[in-house]
Chains A and B, each alone.
Chain A
Amino acid sequence: MKLGDRLRGVVDNLSGAGETQRLVAENELLRERERQLHDYMRSKVNQLLRVMGTLPLRAEELDDKAMRELDPIGIIADSFTQVLDHLNTTNEKMKLANDEIQTILTAANVGILVVDAAMKIQAFNPKLREMFFRTGTDVLGSTCNQVLCSQDVPPEDCTFAKVMASKIGLQRQEWALQGRHYDVAGAPIKNRFGEITHVVLVYNEVTERKQMMESLRESEEMFRILLENSRDMVQGVTPDGTFLYVNRAWRQALGYGEDDIDRLTIHDIIHPDCREHCLGFFQNLMATAEREG
């Protein structure tokens, strides 16, 4: 260093100009750091605001000083705590609801099947497994018509297809599979746009009931044939005297056709002299029947 420069340095130190320059430089550095810190805070606040679903901060709306005082990060952090608390509460409620649904599904004495809109099996209860999937094959994700109906295209009377087409729940759809008969009910599950995401199908086996109904129908038919061909006159009458049934012998003996019966009552076929006696007998018969239950 030349002698002149060294002398200038000594003079500067003595006058305090060097310290001033150092402080100015340090101040500039601190300002830059503060600016960077505010930029970082603003970017994080904007990121959090976007998560909350709103717009970023505008510098003209909230300057750096106001931002520090408002403490948006603190506000949003507290808000997130509330959101998380609410989510936890909701999750607990949903878990309870899910447990309740699982219990109902397990205890139900009807088969319950849940399929998605693409007809793929999403869930089913033990009763449905007992009805259709006794082999224990994993059918989740399989197409309903393939594993249940054993065919590549859904059958014409497919309840799922009817629910998808009508977009409403359907009750008591008759369905038969391998000699067994079922009442099938279907209900859609829709998303918030009203689109069907899943269909719940409930299968109630009615094979025995159907067989009993068939037996009863056959018995009634046989009984009707017996009555119809009997030589005795047989009639069925309601308490108000309307005819429910009369057999052929009755119609032939009294000279009425089948079409006449609907407009006749018991009073029309009793001779006036016998009416009091017959009605008394009829009322006694009714009273006895009522007493005996």
Chain B
Amino acid sequence: MDSELITPQVMEFDIRGQICPATLLIALKELNRSKEQLHKGEVQLVFKTDNRDATITIPDAAENMGYAVSVQRVDDYYAIVVEQGH
């Protein structure tokens, strides 16, 4: 099946109030748990965080794993979107 035709299911994780390294560990745990679906483009993980360090550590780690990452500022928190790599 052409992966471009799949609309990924969005899975949100609200980790506001947590700070590094706990935020990274939680994110990594979810990235490991969903790796098959992420690689197939079936899911998109969104981590909501208010920890600025996490906007660097999570994207760095996820990109090293081959995923595409974007960080969006939403109101008083950041949304880190992790999805299938290019």
Q: Number of residue pairs across A and B with beta carbons under 8 Å?
A: 54
Asked whether any CB of chain B lies closer than 8 Å to the CB of A55, the reply is yes
Q: Is A78 part of the contact surface with B, judged by Cβ < 8 Å? A: yes
Q: Is A279 an interface residue (CB 8 A)?
A: no
Q: How large is the interface on A (under 10, 10 to 19, 20 to 34, 35 or more residues)?
A: 20 to 34
The listed residue (B21, B28, B32, B65) touching A55 by CB distance below 8 A is: B21
Residue pair A57, B64 in contact (C-beta under 8 Å)? no
Q: Report the bound CA distance from A203 to B1 in whole Å.
A: 46
The dominant DSSP class at the B interface is helix
Task: Mark each residue of chain B from 28 to 68: 1 if its CB lies under 8 Å from any CB of chain A, else 0.
Answer: 11011001000000000000000001001100110011100
Does A56 make an interface contact (CB < 8 A)? yes
Tell me the A residues contacting B by CB distance below 8 Å.
Answer: 49, 52-57, 61-62, 70, 72, 75-76, 78-79, 82-83, 85-86, 89-90
| A55-B53, A83-B64 as given contacts; A78 in contact with B20, CB under 8 Å | no
Q: What residue of chain B has the Cβ atom nearest to residue A52's Cβ?
A: B61
Residue from the list B25, B60, B64 in contact with A75, Cβ < 8 A: B25
Quote the shortest CB–CB distance from A91 to chain B (angstroms): 12
Q: Which of A49, A79, A86 contacts B21 (CB 8 A)?
A: A49
Decide if A89 touches B66 in the complex (CB within 8 Å): yes
Per-position 1/0 for B1-33, Cβ under 8 A of A: 000000000000000000111101100110110
Query: What would 14 more interface pairs be, CB under 8 Å, given A55-B21, A89-B66?
Result: A49-B21, A54-B21, A57-B21, A61-B22, A75-B28, A75-B32, A76-B28, A78-B32, A79-B28, A79-B32, A79-B61, A82-B32, A85-B66, A86-B64
